[in-house]
Amino acid sequence: RGFFPSTVLSMSRALVLATCLTVARALHAPTPPCRHALRVTSPRLATKKKVSKKGGARGFGGGAAKQAVKELTPEQLQWRDLKEWVASSGGAADAVRLTDCGGGLRGLKAARDLAKGDEILRIPRSIILDVERAEASPVSGVWRSSGGALPGYLKLGLALLYEVRRGAASDLLPYLAMLPTQDEFAAGGGPAAMWSDDELALTECAHLIDFAKRRRGQSRGEGVPALQPDALAASWAECGLPGEPPGRDELSWAVGAVTSRAYGVGSGSGLVPVVDMANHDGRTPQHTAKGLEEDGRSFVVLATEPIRKGTQVCLSYGELPNCVLLPQFGFVLASLDAPPDLPLVDFTPCLREAEGAAGGAALLLSLAEDGLLVREGDGSISCWQAAGASLQVALLNLHEAGALNGGGEEEAAAASAPAAARHAWRRYRDLLQGTLAGYSTGVAEDRRRLGLGGAAPTASDARGVVVDAGGAAVTPLPPPNGASRVAAEGEAAAA
C-alpha cells in the first residue's frame, strides 16, 4: 500500500512517550489514515422531543404522540452522504458502518453477518482519485510544464489539493468532506515523517530519524524544481487553477494523506473512498481480499472468511515491517505475528571506506546485484543494512578485495583468508555495537522500567531468536517480549 514499500526505542522514557504518541494521539492512520481518529463532536448522539403536526394522527387519539429521535452528528451525516454518493455512482458500501473501534480510533465494522465470498465494498473507478485521473486533470499542467517528471504520489497530492480548491464543484466532495483537515492531521500526530525533529530525536533511532526526515522532504517537494514556491505559484496561475497555489505545509499534508491512504489501482495507486477507512491489523491470512475487477471498472473488497456483525473489517496494507509502518502510516504492530523488522545497522563507516578504495564502488554495486547489500530507491547503496549472514559475507568480500583493510598491518594480514575472515567478523561486531551505542538503555532495562521483567539476553538465546525468527524485529516500538532488541544485542554479543 502506498508509494514507499521500502532500531529500536531503547530509552524507556522515549518508549513511553512514543507509545503515548502512538495511542493517545491516535497515530493509526488516517488521522493518520489507517486507523482514523474520531472527530470530537458534542453531543455524539443527542436526543430531543419532536411533536407531530396536529390533525395527522391516526387512530382514536386526536393529538400526535411525541417521539424521541436521534440527531446525527456532523460526522454521521457525512458518512451517510458518502454512502449515498457511492450508491448513486453505481457502488455499494451498505455492508459496513463507520464507528469507533476503541481508543478513539475509527474504522469500519460489519453492518451485518457476512459469509465467505460476500462482497463488502464496491467502489466505481469513476470516483477513485488515481494517477490516471490526475494526468487528465487541469492540475497536470503543473508537471507537464516541467517535462512531466514527477513521482506519482506528488501528482496525486497536487490533484487532491486541486479538488479541495474546487469545493462544491468537485464531484469528489462527499469524499473530501471525510478527510482530516490539515489542522486535524497535525493535532492527531500523523506518520513519523510528520513529527518534529525534537519528537524524532526522542526515539534515539538513527534509522527511523533518517528515514522520516527523507520522507518529510519528499512530501514537501524538496529538490523538485516544479514544486519550488515561485515555480509552483507561476504554473498554478498559468494553468488557471482555482485558489492560491499550495504552500509546502499544505503539500506535505496532501502527500501524507495520499501515501498513508492509497491502494494499488491499475498500474499505479489511488485514493479509494470508504476502502481507505479500513484499518490494518497484520493478521495472516487476512479475512478480506481487495483489488480492481478484471474489467477495471470497480475496486471491490470481498470476505475471505465469515465475518460476524459488529466485527471490525480490516485490510492488509502489505507485508510491511514496523520500521516502514511508523514513518508512512503512523502506527506500529505490537504482535510478533506482524512481518518482522530486521536488525538494521549503520553501515556508513564501511560504505565510505569502501567507496574511497580502488575498485570499491564497483564491488559494492556487484554485492548489491548479488543480493548481499540493500539499495535505496535511487539505486545507491543504503547506509542501513540488515544484520545477518548477507552482511557478513559482503564484509568478507570487501576485506578480501582490500576495500576495507585500512592499510598498514591490517592490509597485509588480509592476504590470508582466515585473517580476512577474522577482520570481517570484527568489523561486523563493531557495526552492531556502534549502532546499539546510540541508545541510552538496552532491552533488559526497558523491560525492567516497563514492569515486564526478564533478564538481559545471552548470546546463545539471542542467536536462537535470530535463527528462529528469521532476523527478529528491531522496531521503533518493540513488542512486549523485547525480541527485537534481543536480536540486535544478541548478534553483537555473539560477534
Q: How is the chain split into domains, by residue range?
A: 74-128+273-329, 129-271, 344-406+418-441
pLDDT of residue 343: 81
The mean-pLDDT minimum among 99-113, 234-248, 344-358, 455-469 falls in 455-469
3-state secondary structure of 484: helix
56 burial via Cβ count (<10 Å: 0-12, 13-18, 19+)? exposed
pLDDT of residue 349: 92
**CA 347, 352, 353, 356 torsion: positive or negative?**
positive
- Each residue's pLDDT tens digit, 63-88: 444 455 568 888 889 999 999 999 99
Q: May I ask the CATH class of domain 74-128+273-329?
A: mainly beta
Round to whole Å and give the CA distance between 86 and 212.
Answer: 35
- Each residue's pLDDT tens digit, 141-169: 999 877 767 899 999 999 999 999 999 99
Round to whole Å and give the CA distance between 235 and 237.
Answer: 5
Nine-digit cell string for 405: 583493510
Rounded to 5 degrees, φ, ψ at 126 are: -65, -20
Round to whole Å and give the CA distance between 447 and 478.
Answer: 10
- Each residue's pLDDT tens digit, 399-425: 999 898 754 444 444 456 678 888 889
DSSP 291: E
pLDDT of residue 378: 79
Percent over 70 (pLDDT), the chain: 72
Rounded to 5 degrees, φ, ψ at 47 are: -120, 145
- Each residue's pLDDT tens digit, 165-181: 999 999 999 999 999 88
Q: Which residue has the higher pLDDT, 305 or 492?
A: 305
- Each residue's pLDDT tens digit, 323-336: 888 888 888 877 64
Please check the confidence at residue 283 and state whether its pLDDT lies above 80.
Answer: no
pLDDT of residue 453: 65
- DSSP characters for 138-174? GGGHHHHTTTS---HHHHHHHHHHHHHHHGGG-TTHH
When pLDDT is averaged across residues 215-225 and rounded to a whole number, the result is 91
Mean pLDDT score across all residues of the chain: 77
DSSP 114: B
Predicted TM-score (pTM) of the model is 0.71
- What band does 339 get if pLDDT is binned at 50, 70 and 90? low
Q: Are 459 and 432 in contact (CB under 8 A)?
A: no
DSSP 285: S
CA nearest 30: which of 311, 213, 280, 216?
280
| Virtual torsion, Cα 178, 114, 2, 193, nearest 10 deg | 60
pLDDT of residue 326: 86
- Each residue's pLDDT tens digit, 449-469: 777 765 544 433 332 222 222
Q: Are 331 and 32 in contact (CB under 8 A)?
A: yes
Rounded to 5 degrees, φ, ψ at 121 are: -140, 145
Q: Are 489 and 457 in contact (CB under 8 A)?
A: yes
Please check the confidence at residue 361 and state whether its pLDDT lies above 90.
Answer: yes
The mean-pLDDT minimum among 184-188, 279-283, 292-296 falls in 184-188
Q: Which residue has the higher pLDDT, 42 or 163?
A: 163
CA nearest 476: which of 204, 229, 249, 222?
204
